[in-house]
A and B are shown apart, each in its own frame.
Chain A
């Protein structure tokens, strides 16, 4: 096999701990406990090795990365290595001073996420009073010379307020706003019947987003991507398996996609045991879905396979039981009815049988079958 192209993105999931409890969290139900987290020294080695093989974008995420006391050390090191570093945060765990410190250490970008545009819904979804602090932090970010980048995760509980969210962002003078779709993995998948919006809601949100894009052109950039469930075609899995993206989980497991843990037949390695270079270039896990050898029908002969690479393997596994099936969000998939059925449940406004489950802070969830 020819040597793969270099990874461009390193996602450092430095912890699964988080002071919030969002029910749409895409972290696994089996949260990694603090005692199993990589230590500072190992993270520094990961950064160094990933940079050496060409990673340029670095994301600190989690969980809530601010929980890590050594975040300053990691940020300082990434700047020296030449990374463009992104902090993906809820804003809880920093104050204006810490933002200033990050700036001085060379952090390039901070993205602050909101649950909603108003305190009541925001704090309900977050499970914590956090709205006011988020506003303060969004302002602190901008006051430190950063572009203000806000992210709202959109789902049925808040999709009716997209207009208000964009108004809030405009009022805060945000530079970028991402209206992100909940990724139906982990906690979000568990709560899917509470979260999946209806087709009409998705289209209305799209219309409003386009409206504001036109209205605020040149002032605020708005990203809104229609969720794959409604598009009849999957999104390319993380830009193609093992093509651009490398994630390292809190316990050091290197992942081609942040939800790839637990895919059957996938042999993954830990950065404690192997170098990043070996993991990226040689490891069976990263080579598993490279190329097209793994494909079955309908993907194998599909003329769109270079566009989406068959979609998301984790989604294929979670919904069909086999990660080598076509992503069932694709209308050509023989399992597409599973996705249609999930949307139907939201169309019909059925009251889900189970209550919404808020994410645990750092404990594991006992899932009883």
Chain B
């Protein structure tokens, strides 16, 4: 489990953007692309290298007026790091 004070950011070479034709957010990287579901997109949009994990969780819960997102965020981040999308600043 990562340090909750670590600050997730997109890995170099990755770009996160909205694709109007596909109607979803995508993550673009050298010669590849993944389409993101809404949860993944919401989490990634807060991974700016400025907020630590605790802030990401709090800001998400605030933005979506939800509670208990902690597990979702942690498991998504674990996978995103494993796939090389996200690094800790």
- A and B: bona fide binding partners: yes
What is A's interface to B at a CB cutoff of 8 Å?
6, 8, 52-54, 56-57, 59, 82, 84, 86, 108-109, 111, 145-147, 149, 175-176, 221
A109 surroundings in chain B (CB, below 8 A): 13, 29-31
The minimal Cβ–Cβ distance linking B35 to chain A, given in whole angstroms, is 10
Q: List 23 A-B contacts (CB under 8 A).
A: A6-B21, A8-B33, A52-B21, A54-B19, A54-B21, A54-B22, A56-B22, A56-B26, A57-B28, A57-B32, A57-B33, A59-B31, A82-B17, A84-B33, A108-B30, A109-B13, A109-B30, A109-B31, A111-B30, A147-B12, A147-B13, A175-B13, A221-B84
Check if A86 sits within 8 Å of B30, measured CB to CB: yes
Q: Name B69-89 residues within 8 Å CB distance of A.
A: 84
Bound: A57/B21 CA distance, A: 13
Residues of A within 8 A of B19 (CB): 54, 56
Contact of A56 among B12, B13, B28, B84 (CB under 8 A): B28
Residues of chain A within 8 A of B84, CB atoms compared: 221
CA distance A221 to B31 in the complex (A): 14
- Decide: B31 and A53 in contact? CB cutoff 8 A: no
Nearest 10 CB-CB pairings of A with B: A54-B21, A84-B28, A147-B13, A109-B30, A6-B21, A149-B30, A147-B12, A86-B31, A84-B15, A56-B33
Interface residues of B, CB < 8 Å — how many? 15
Q: Which residues of B contact A175 (CB under 8 A)?
A: 13
Contact of A146 with B33 at beta-carbon distance under 8 Å, contacts A6-B22, A54-B22, A82-B17 already known: no
Binding site for A on B (CB under 8 A): 12-13, 15, 17, 19, 21-22, 26, 28-33, 84
A residues less than 8 Å from B30 (CB atoms): 86, 108-109, 111, 147, 149, 176
Residues of chain B with a CB closer than 8 A to A52's CB: 21
Q: Smallest distance from the beta carbon of A65 to chain B beta carbons, Å?
A: 15
**Closest CB of chain B to A222's CB: distance in Å?**
13
User: How distant is the Cα of A84 from the Cα of B84 in the complex, in angstroms?
Assistant: 17
User: Cβ of B28 and Cβ of A108 under 8 Å apart?
Assistant: yes
Contact for B13 among A6, A54, A57, A108, CB less than 8 A: A108
Known contacts A6-B22, A54-B22; is-contact A146 B12 (Cβ 8 Å): yes
Q: Tell me which of A56, A59, A84 has the highest count of chain B C-beta atoms within 10 A of its own C-beta.
A: A84
Question: Among the listed B15, B21, B22, B26, which residue makes an inter-chain contact with A108, where contact means beta carbons less than 8 Å apart?
Answer: B15
Asked if A57 meets B22 with Cβ closer than 8 Å, knowing A108-B13, A146-B13, the reply is no
- Chain B residues with Cβ below 8 Å from A56 are 19, 22, 26, 28, 33
CB B81 to nearest CB in A, in angstroms, measures 9
> Which residues from chain B contact A149 at a C-beta distance below 8 Å?
30
- Give the nearest-CB partner of A149 in chain B: B30
Distance to closest chain A CB from B29 (angstroms): 8
> A176 to chain B: which residues have CB within 8 Å?
30
**Docked CA distance A175–B30 (Å):** 11
Known: A54-B22, A109-B13. 8 other contacts (CB 8 A): A52-B21, A54-B19, A59-B31, A84-B15, A111-B30, A111-B31, A147-B13, A176-B30
With the chains together, A147 CA to B30 CA distance in Å? 9
Q: A145-B12, A147-B12 are in contact. Are A53 and B32 (CB under 8 A)?
A: no
A146 to B11, CA, bound (A): 11
B10 to chain A, nearest CB (A): 12
In the bound complex, residues from chain B placing their C-beta under 8 Å from that of A54 are 19, 21-22
Task: Give A54 Cβ to nearest chain B Cβ, in Å.
Answer: 3
When distances are taken between beta carbons in the complex, the residues of chain A under 8 Å from B12 are: 145-147
- C-alpha spacing A53/B22, complex, angstroms: 10
Q: In the bound complex, how far is the Cα of B34 from the Cα of A14, in angstroms?
A: 26
